[in-house]
Amino acid sequence: MPTYALAQLTALACNPAQMVDLAARTGYDQAGVRLLPVAPGAVAYNLMDDPALLRETLARMDDTGVKIFDLELIRIGEGFDVERYLPFFEVGARLGAQAVLVAGDDPDHARMVDHYAALCDAMQPYGLSADLEFMPWTAVRDLDTALHIVNAADRPNGGILVDALHFDRSNSRIEQLADIPAHWLHYAQICDGPAQRPTTNEGLIKAARSERLLPGEGAIDLKRLWQALPQDLPVSVEIPHDVRVAQMGVEAWARAALVAAKGQVEYL
């Protein structure tokens, strides 16, 4: 059976210590934390500059047994400088994290390969994998592009993150998953979405960050997708929905998300 991690985006208002407590109360094995924002001014919890919150998070991990699995996020743009992320890696090692979500924003793919390889090299001593997530509004638009970059970099801790929503919206194909070497797959993110896809980048971003559906509620063929992935692959439950979280409360939403995720992954 896979392990399940509560993704930060599912409960974005919770700081890392609260994420650990929430994951423990709602039945998750692990949690993910967002240390750097997706965009300037966006929500993130900079444990690199908050030693008190870092200590509290470590204490809650000890008390509950819930581990931190993944860290968010590092963006590779044209001016990428890996040195500025060393404190991020150090905190990740203290948390015992295993994976880092990486986004690619550089349209020059040759330069992105070089920067991605440098990132992998810098992360390796900290026991972290660099999991490149393809998203249709970024420079890594689909699975083919992610495969090219990770293959060209050829690093032992390189990886590809398959997010169910982005997989569906990028017109990637189930058959392509067989092209991903097993050692590049460290975890996958589950959610669902409606059959009608947004037609603009703005619409895609809004749906991804605040309007995802519980697994089984939408039109993504999650069971077929998970049949094509390793059976024991860790699952990150990433299902933000601003309206429904406000209505239900974050704890009820996190619990419902886990139940729905298991219903798709474990009953294939």
Q: What is the pLDDT of residue 139?
A: 97
Q: What is the reported pLDDT for 37?
A: 96
pTM assigned to the model: 0.96
Phi-psi region of 41 (alpha: psi -120 to 50; beta: other; left: phi over 0): left
Q: How far is CA 85 from CA 35, 63, 90, in A?
A: 11, 29, 9
Amino acid identity, residue 153?
A
Q: What is the pLDDT of residue 268?
A: 53
Quick check: helix, strand or coil at residue 216? coil
Mean pLDDT in consecutive groups of 10 residues from the start of the chain, 268 residues? 96 98 98 96 97 98 98 97 98 98 97 98 98 97 97 98 97 94 97 94 93 97 95 97 97 98 86
Helix (H, G, I), strand (E, B) or coil at 38: coil
Report the CATH architecture of 4-265: Alpha-Beta Barrel (3.20)
Domain boundaries, the chain: 4-265
